[in-house]
Amino acid sequence: MGFNFTQTKKLKYPLKSHRKPIIIPKQSGDLAEFMGIVFGDGGINNDWQLIITLNSLADKEYSLYVEDLIKRLFKVRVYKRKRANENTLALICSSTTLVDFMVDKGAVRGNKIKQNINIPNWILKNRTRRKRFVRGVVDTDGGLFIHRHLCYNKPYCNIGLCFTSYSLRLIESVKEILDELGIKSYITDRKRRIYIYSADSIKQYLELVGSMNPRINGKYRDWLNKHSDWKGARAV
């Protein structure tokens, strides 16, 4: 459906005549995942634009998924802008209605960290939405890494996952969701990062939460190919 003026109660400019028509989506897993993406690499710095900023190299393929998700949810045009001399790609949605809607659903205008963002209640109360939100925020502000260490002078090479946020409330909420799913994780670095260390836990995360970012799935497949003798090996 298009924009409905009965939904303007909390909108900043409810009666502006130049609003572009968009779809107002229902609360869903897709919308929860998009909210996670916005909480990760998104920003609302004015009243008419929402911008998702990704790495133009590492997240090139993932940007296509995000663009398609936005179009499916809102039926709006997404403008892409590669910043000169930087490896950044901005996905720009210019729509006052979309911005108002996202703020109404729990996104914030301005500095996310200073406002100590946290997962909106409409997401927290639904298990599927909780997982989809985590997928979105980790796909943008998280990643896999290779952890090399010595144990009794024997070298080991393990895979891990790290998610970073300077919002303590968001870190704690994501940790609670991982705990609920039985995924062992740790908060470290002055409560700014969540780490998942073991290969078993990474496998569990990818099976229960999943990732739509080829940067993450590709690194996991590369690790599996080099550790084909691992008992839990399974490509994603």
Q: Two tokens at 213?
A: 């970012």
Which domains are assigned to the chain?
7-120 (3.10.28.10), 136-226 (3.10.28.10)
For tokens 């298990």, the residue is 127
Residue 159 identity (one-letter amino acid)? I
Q: pLDDT tens-digit profile of 114-147?
A: 999 999 999 999 999 999 999 999 999 999 998 7
pLDDT at 21: 84
The enclosing H or E element of 89 equals: strand 88-94
Per-residue pLDDT of the chain (236 residues; tens, 9 = 90+): 344 433 444 455 555 546 778 999 999 999 999 999 999 999 999 999 999 999 999 999 999 999 999 999 999 999 999 987 789 999 999 999 999 999 999 999 999 989 999 999 999 999 999 999 999 999 999 999 987 766 677 766 789 999 999 999 999 999 999 999 999 999 999 999 999 998 999 999 999 999 999 999 999 999 988 877 655 544 44
Q: What is the pLDDT of residue 226?
A: 83
- What pLDDT sits at residue 149? 67
pTM for this model (two decimals): 0.88
Measured CA to CA, the distance from residue 234 to residue 236 in angstroms comes to 7
- DSSP SS3 for 235: coil
Dihedral in degrees, nearest 10, Cα atoms 172, 173, 175, 176: 120
